[in-house]
Amino acid sequence: MSLGLLMAGYFVTMAAGFVLGERTETRLYDVSEYIFPASGLSRSALKAFEEQIAFYNNAIMLGEAADIQNAGKKAGEVEKLIGAINGLEGLKENQKKDIQEISRETAEFTADAAPVYTEMSSGIEKEENYDKAIQLAEKTQQILKKLNLLSESFSGELRKELSQVSNVTRYQRYLNLYIFLAMAFLAVTGMGLVITRSVSNPLNFIIRGLDDSGRQVASLSEQIVHASQSIAQGASEQAAASEETSASLEEMSSGSRKNADNAMQADHLMKNTKAIVRVASSSVEQLISAMNEISESSKETYHIVKAIEEIAFRTHLLSLNASIEAAHAGKAGAGFAVLAGEVRNLALKARQAANNSTELLDGTVRKIRDGSELVAATFQAFSEVVKNSDTAGKLVSEIASTSDEQAQGILEITRRSSETDMVTRGNAANAEELTAVSEEMNIQAQNLKAFVRQLRVLIKGGREMISSLQSPV
């Protein structure tokens, strides 16, 4: 009878576990098939759209046409992710409606934004583009808000489903425990009834069985006490370690958040530096142009001085010819000879000044050429600085994004660690209760052995009384 009750309890427990397990399996299937993928895809779509907006902003600020192309790629990625979400099975009608609306709005936004931001990045200034840019900024905030709401909706549904699965599992565990305890109680009760109805059977056999069972129970209870004490001690140590882990995670979370803030500040400084370097590069470019113009002007001045030198040389020859003619004229050409001498002296001085100017212009042209080469080298260096600044800016942006994601991940780990700490404390309390129950069980086992001894003495005394009555006087 007792075995039958235990078997019945076992089958009832199995049936309940099967029903609840089937429900749990259905919920887990829903979570794995659409809720968890939808949550991940929605977060990826939100991140891709934010990157698309960042590329548009960089294109306007820096005038990079490549950023417009990168923004277009991100727009395609957003559409692909939203389409993947819409293709999941198990979505509700309102969710499908919201997803289709977001897909439509993102497509319209990309179609409107691409030409406007392309013209603005190319330096084409139109008043209507600024008005459209303001409207696009408002649409951007609306789309970001809807993507955030969609992501939070799937995340909340995921947490809800996992919480329900946890509740069902906990309910199943307690139900199995209660059914087992009830069946065990019924089995013990039935065993007591059987023993009570079978008093006529040999009591010595029952007493020996009870005695052996009492000793085994006492031995097992002692083992349980020791094991419970070890479990309690281990749970306490685990709780202390969990507290230290939580404290360390909080420190890591604070440091990670600080790193993320510093990375964002570094990203801002790199963007400002890039703008300053571009302005300096433009100034150097203008300086090169001015140096080239000065060099051209110096060359023209050099040709003019050469012409003056040629004129002075010819004037000198003419003055020599005039002096010769004045000598041939004799006294009549004496005054003309003096005038020719003065002209010759002026021609010599003009020629000497022209030579000096030529030498100075040659030196100036050489210095201008050297300066132009230095400026060109400086411009090349500034170009390399601009390229390296762009690369560094991208790296700092990636570092800032990664640091923020790490900070969010550490916060989540900290929260999970706190929950684990609570569970550990609960286990420690349960271990202490188990120790108390084991000690009480040991006491009851000792009491059971005492009762068996009393019953044995009572039965032995009854037999002696019956033997004395049956023996002759």
Cα separations in angstroms, 410 against 163, 195, 362, 402, 416: 22, 63, 70, 12, 10
Coil, strand, or helix at residue 123? coil
pLDDT in the model for residue 373: 82
pLDDT in the model for residue 473: 41
pLDDT tens digits for 28-43?
A: 656 666 678 888 888 8
Coil, strand, or helix at residue 90? coil
Length of the chain: 473
pLDDT in the model for residue 333: 72
What is the distance between the alpha carbons of residues 113 and 86, in angstroms, rounded to a whole number? 24
pLDDT in the model for residue 200: 43
Cα separations in angstroms, 201 against 29, 206, 331: 58, 9, 184
pLDDT in the model for residue 190: 65
What is the distance between the alpha carbons of residues 40 and 88, in angstroms, rounded to a whole number? 12
pLDDT in the model for residue 469: 47
pLDDT tens digits for 131-186?
A: 888 888 888 898 889 888 888 887 887 788 777 767 767 776 677 667 667 766 66
Coil, strand, or helix at residue 135? helix
Instruction: Output the six-digit token pair for 197.
Output: 């109805």
The pTM of the full predicted model, rounded to 2 decimals, is 0.34
Got the DSSP string for 85-113? HHT-TT--HHHHHHHHHHHHHHHHHHHHH
Q: What is the mean pLDDT of each run of 10 residues along the chain (473 residues)?
A: 60 62 61 75 88 85 80 88 83 84 88 82 75 84 88 82 73 68 67 55 64 72 72 71 72 74 78 77 78 77 79 80 78 74 82 82 80 79 76 76 75 74 73 74 76 70 54 48
pLDDT in the model for residue 222: 74
CA 473 from chain center: how many Å? 103
pLDDT tens digits for 184-221?
A: 666 667 665 555 555 445 566 666 776 776 677 767 76
Domains by residue range for the chain, with CATH: 1-188 (1.20.120), 217-473 (1.10.287.950)
Task: Write phi, then psi, for 202 (nearest 5 degrees).
Answer: -60, 115
AA letter at 214: G
Mean pLDDT of the chain: 75
Coil, strand, or helix at residue 472? coil
Query: What value, to the nearest 5°, has the Cα angle with vertex 386 and ends 384 and 388?
Result: 70
**Helix/strand/coil (H/E/C) assignment for every residue in 411-446:** HHHHHHHHHHHHHHHHHHHHHHHHHHHHHHHHHHHH
- Are 424 and 239 within 8 A, CB to CB? yes
123: alpha, beta or left? (left if phi > 0; alpha if psi -120 to 50): left
Task: Give the percent of the chain with pLDDT over 70.
Answer: 76
